[in-house]
Amino acid sequence: MINLFKRGFTLIEIMLVVIIIGILVAMLVPNIAGRSEQARKTAARTDIESNLSTALDLYRMDVSQYPTTEQGLSALIVEPTASPVPAQWNGPYLKKKKVPKDPWGRDYVYVSPGTQNPDSYDLSSLGPNGVEDSNDITNWGSEGK
């Protein structure tokens, strides 16, 4: 009787297993890679439409206007010294006490009064490519969605 425990795998069997694993990895990696970029875009959209927007609205409730472009988003953390200096600043307005970067490590673009939203502000991320184009994530229109 042949001892089944001494019989090993042949080179062909090992190569088949490696090829099958390679095919599975090749099918899964693109799906996973695409999800990380989608998650970054969702995080930027959440910051723009919710986190920073709420902090800016709270600032406006206290100061009666949004921070100017010169004061920037740092006005949500530190009381501005640039004109117009707010009389009723009650910040910091962001919980982490620092202005977040977008998911690609760049500053959010803030303009007030906005060119797209003249009665408030424009807030955007330049997205994955870091260039102003139709792929930007913004607080106006449907760009970058």
Give mean pLDDT, residues 84-89. Answer: 91
Average pLDDT over residues 4-32: 77
- Residue 72 region, left (φ>0) first, then alpha (ψ -120 to 50), else beta? left
If you search the block for the tokens 């106006």, which residue do you land on? 140
Q: E-strand spans in 52-121?
A: 109-111
22-68 pLDDT, tens per residue? 888 887 777 666 678 888 999 999 999 999 999 999 999 999 999 99
Could you confirm whether domain 12-138 is CATH 3.30.700.10?
yes
pTM above 0.75, yes or no: no
Listed by start position, the domains of the chain span 12-138
pLDDT digits (tens, 9 = 90+) for 108-141: 999 999 999 999 999 999 998 888 988 899 999 7
Residue 105's pLDDT is 95
